[in-house]
Amino acid sequence: MENSVSGFSKFTKAEKIDWLIANHFQNNPKAKADLERYWNTDEVLQKLHDEFTENTISNFYLPFGVAPNFLINDKMYVIPMTIEESSVVAAASNAAKFWMERGGFKAEVLSTTKVGQVHFMFHGAFSELEALFKTIKPQLFEETKAITKNMEARGGGILDIALMDKTEKLSGYYQLHTTFETKDAMGANFINSCLEQIATTFKSCSKDIQVVMSILSNYVPDCLVRAEVSCKVDALATNTYTGQEFADTFLQAVRIAEIEPYRAVTHNKGIMNGVDSVVLATGNDFRAVEAGVHAYAARSGSYSSLTHASIEDGAFKFWIELPLALGTVGGLTGLHPLVKTALELLGKPSAKELMEIVAVAGLAQNFAALKSLTTTGIQQGHMKMHLLNILNQFEANATEKIHLIEHFKTHTVTHSAVVEAIENLRA
C-alpha cells in the first residue's frame, strides 16, 4: 500500500519525523521545524514526555491557567485549569468571586465506590452456577491478596463480588460485578489486575465458564460528589434585574435543560468545560470522566441536566451531583511536573477533596454560562475573549492589537467585524 510503513514503532524519533515529512508533507522543511520547535530544550524533561505514550514526535501544548477566589467549604482555593477555549477560565473566576461574596461553595463526597466486571458466558443451569459461585467466592478474595495487600493497608480493596444474571438481555451472559475502594488512587490498573485474577480463579473451577473479558467500568454512579451554592433571592439583584427576576429566569433555564436533550447536551458541555480543565490539569483521565458523567446524565432513560435549581422561602439554591473517579496518587500525578504543580497549588488534596474541587469548577462554569445566557447573552463576553484568537489568525502585530482591542470595547465583536476593522486599519 502507498505510504504504508513497517516497523515504525522501532524508528528513532528523528527517523519517524523524517518518514512523515517525506511521505505526508512533501518534504516541507517548515512542517519539520514546527514539530521540532515544540520539543523541550530540557532533554530529561523531553524524554519523560516522550515516554508518556507511543510514537511521540513532538509535544502539543495547551494553556495552563488559574481561576482564583474559590471559597469551598470555607477554604480558599486557586484552581488550575488546562483548556484552550476562550472565556472558560474568566467565567469560572467571575463565578468564584460572585459566590465568594455570598458564602462560597459547599461540597461533599457522597460515596466513593468504583466498579469492575468479569464478563462471562455460561449455558448450564443457573442454580449450578449460583452454587459454584457461593462455594468459590471466598477463594476469589483469597487469591487476590497479593494484589490487594497494599491497597488494604491504605483502607481500600475489594468491597464485594456479586454474581449478576444478564441472560434476559443476552443468552448465556453473566457478570461478576465487583466493587472497589481505591482511596487516593484512581485505581484503574489495580482494579483491572484484581479482575483478571478473579477471572482466572473463577474459570479454573468449571470448563463450562467462558470468560469474555475483565475490565473496570468508567460508569461510577456510586462514586458521587455534590456541590452547591445558595443565597437569599434578593442577593442576586443586578443593575438590570431584581433578584427575583434573575432567579426566576435562571430557574427556567435549568428546567429547560432538565427536559430538553438538545439543550441539555450543550448545558452539560459547559459544565464539562470546568470539569475537564481541572481533571486534565491534575493528571486525571478526562475521557473516562466524560463517559461516566454523560451516562449518569442519561440514567433516567432521557439525557438531562446535571445541575438543578430551586427557589424556596426566599432562598435560591443551585447544585450539581457528579460521578467522578479521580486520583491524586499514581499515573501522571507523580510524573508530569505541571501536574505536581497543580496538585501543590490545590494544597496536595486527597482524592475526595479533588472530587469536591472538580464538582465546584463544573457548577461555577454552569452558573457563569446561565447567568450570561439569561442576561446579556453568551456571545458578548465570549467573543470579546475570542477577539485575540481572531487577531492572531490574521497575524496582527502589537500595535494593531492595542488599537483593535480598544476599538472593540465599544463595538460588537464578530468575525466579520474584526476582519473589516483589520482591513480598514491596514488600509
Question: What single-letter DSSP state applies at residue 331?
Answer: G
Enter the CATH code of domain 114-216.
Answer: 3.30.70.420
The pLDDT score that the predictor gives to residue 397 is 84
Query: pLDDT digit string (tens) for 298-330?
Result: 999 999 999 999 999 999 999 999 999 999 998
Cα 314 to chain center, whole Å? 34
The pLDDT score that the predictor gives to residue 383 is 60
CA-nearest of 14, 16, 12 to 24 is 16
Query: pLDDT digit string (tens) for 331-369?
Result: 888 899 999 999 999 999 999 999 999 999 999 999 999
Question: How many residues appear in the chain?
Answer: 427
Q: Which residues are catalytic?
A: 85, 269, 285, 382
The pLDDT score that the predictor gives to residue 406 is 79
Given a cut of 50, the residues of the chain with pLDDT beneath it are none
CB 287 within 8 A of CB 404: no
Strand partners, 214: 118
- Distance separating alpha carbons of residues 59 and 223, to the nearest angstrom: 33
The pLDDT score that the predictor gives to residue 54 is 95
- The residue ranges of every structural domain in the chain are 8-50, 64-110+222-376, 114-216, 381-426
Q: Under 8 Å CB-to-CB from 103, ≥6 apart: which residues?
A: 71, 229, 230, 231
The pLDDT score that the predictor gives to residue 384 is 58
The pLDDT score that the predictor gives to residue 386 is 67
- Distance separating alpha carbons of residues 26 and 60, to the nearest angstrom: 22
The pLDDT score that the predictor gives to residue 421 is 83
| CATH fit for domain 64-110+222-376, picks 3.30.1130.10, 3.60.10.10, 3.40.1280.10, 3.90.770.10 | 3.90.770.10
Query: pLDDT digit string (tens) for 66-110?
Result: 999 999 999 999 999 999 998 899 999 999 999 999 999 999 999
